[in-house]
């Protein structure tokens, strides 16, 4: 069976699983739609699909990959890396934003193909090794499962991951999931170095009936979420990336840059603040609904 047939079969199985689970968070066609890989800035490259991000940061001693997108997309991610003239086998570390199937589904396969170590936050590591079967996840019971990752190393909050001359810093940003993590690093081009941010999803979505507030077992969820939003707002931030590129109009900005728009639309020192502010408004609206007696999604 060739890769195209494998991906078609996999999509069918996942689609049937979603119908069976009555999930309200079905996949979007853009999540599978190929996108030509491209340089974001310096040694940072986009190797994901049209609707799901996967970010590759390179060095002379190997690369770091953030996120793998869906299980079915593993061959696509590998092909995008090769299309850049790079080797999948040179990926030394795979990191994760959060352990949902649309960002972690392909990590087990990509780790096998590359031989890379997988690392995540403490809560993220547990969820990855459980294949997304995480009772602490707000989407537990509706989130689709995926192949578990056999071994996941833990990166502490504020901890770093190094490969060659690249260093990424972990910023725990729990809320969307307990293990949500944002990543920062520096990339340089023609003598100009910029602060790169891969900010995790800040959307307060959940399974039906879940509450971020007034949960006697998890009294800190809303406060943690607010703190995470503030963390993202305070990050040094020249270029913002996110697991769902459409959440920050990323592809539109890339297209504008490719058309020659100046200044470069991707370079925006206020992008993280704007992303966090929008998320904060939505979170507070969600909490108001919960206080009114609505366990909204």
Residues 6+ apart with CB under 8 A from 202: 173, 175, 176, 225, 228, 229, 232, 275, 276, 279, 283
Give tens-digit pLDDT for 109-145.
999 999 999 999 999 999 999 999 999 999 999 999 9
pLDDT exceeds 90 at position 295: no
Task: State the pLDDT at residue 292.
Answer: 87
Full DSSP string of 141-190: TTSPP-PPPS-EEE--TT-EEEETTEEEEEEE--SSSTT-EEEEEEEEET
pLDDT band, residue 17 (cuts 50/70/90): very low
Task: State the pLDDT at residue 15.
Answer: 43
Asked if 139 contacts 207 with a C-beta cutoff of 8 angstroms, the reply is yes
Tokens 């940061």 belong to 57
Distance in angstroms (rounded) separating the CA atoms of residues 6 and 212: 38
The least confident of 71-75, 167-171, 211-215, 281-285 is 211-215
Distance in angstroms (rounded) separating the CA atoms of residues 181 and 171: 6
Distance in angstroms (rounded) separating the CA atoms of residues 160 and 54: 19
Q: Any idea which fold 27-291 has?
A: Metallo-beta-lactamase; Chain A (3.60.15)
Distance in angstroms (rounded) separating the CA atoms of residues 153 and 181: 14
pLDDT band, residue 217 (cuts 50/70/90): confident
Asked if 51 contacts 37 with a C-beta cutoff of 8 angstroms, the reply is no
pLDDT band, residue 170 (cuts 50/70/90): very high
Strands across the sheet with 117-120, in order?
A: 38-41, 44-46, 55-59, 62-66, 91-95, 117-120, 152-154
| Mean pLDDT taken over the chain | 92
pLDDT exceeds 80 at position 257: yes
Give tens-digit pLDDT for 90-99.
999 999 999 9
């Amino acid at each position: 069976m060739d890769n195209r047939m494998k991906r078609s079969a996999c999509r069918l199985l996942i689609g049937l699983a979603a119908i069976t689970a009555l999930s309200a968070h079905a996949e979007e066609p853009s999540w599978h739609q190929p996108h030509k890989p491209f340089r974001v800035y310096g040694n940072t490259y986009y190797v994901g699909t049209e609707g799901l991000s996967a970010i590759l940061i390179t060095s002379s001693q190997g690369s770091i990959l953030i996120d793998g997108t869906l299980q079915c997309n593993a061959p696509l991610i590998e092909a995008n890396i090769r299309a850049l003239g790079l080797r999948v086998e040179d990926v030394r570390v795979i990191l994760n934003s959060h352990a949902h199937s649309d960002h972690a589904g392909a990590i087990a396969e990509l780790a096998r193909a590359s031989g890379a170590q997988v690392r995540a936050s403490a809560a993220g590591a547990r969820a990855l090794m459980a294949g997304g079967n995480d009772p602490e996840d707000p989407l537990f019971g509706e989130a689709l499962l995926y192949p578990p990752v056999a071994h996941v190393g833990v990166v502490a909050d504020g901890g770093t991951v190094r490969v060659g001359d690249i260093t990424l810093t972990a910023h725990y940003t729990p809320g969307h999931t307990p293990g949500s993590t944002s990543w920062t690093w520096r990339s340089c081009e023609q003598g100009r170095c910029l602060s790169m941010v891969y900010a995790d999803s800040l959307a307060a979505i959940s399974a039906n009936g879940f509450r971020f507030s007034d949960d006697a077992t998890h009294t800190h969820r809303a406060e943690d979420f607010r703190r995470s939003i503030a963390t993202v707002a305070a990050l040094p931030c020249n270029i913002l990336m996110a697991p769902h590129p459409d959440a920050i109009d990323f592809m539109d900005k890339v297209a504008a840059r490719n058309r020659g728009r100046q200044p470069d639309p991707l370079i925006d020192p206020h992008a993280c603040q704007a992303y966090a502010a929008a998320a904060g408004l939505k979170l507070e609206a969600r909490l108001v609904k919960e206080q009114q007696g609505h366990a909204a999604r």
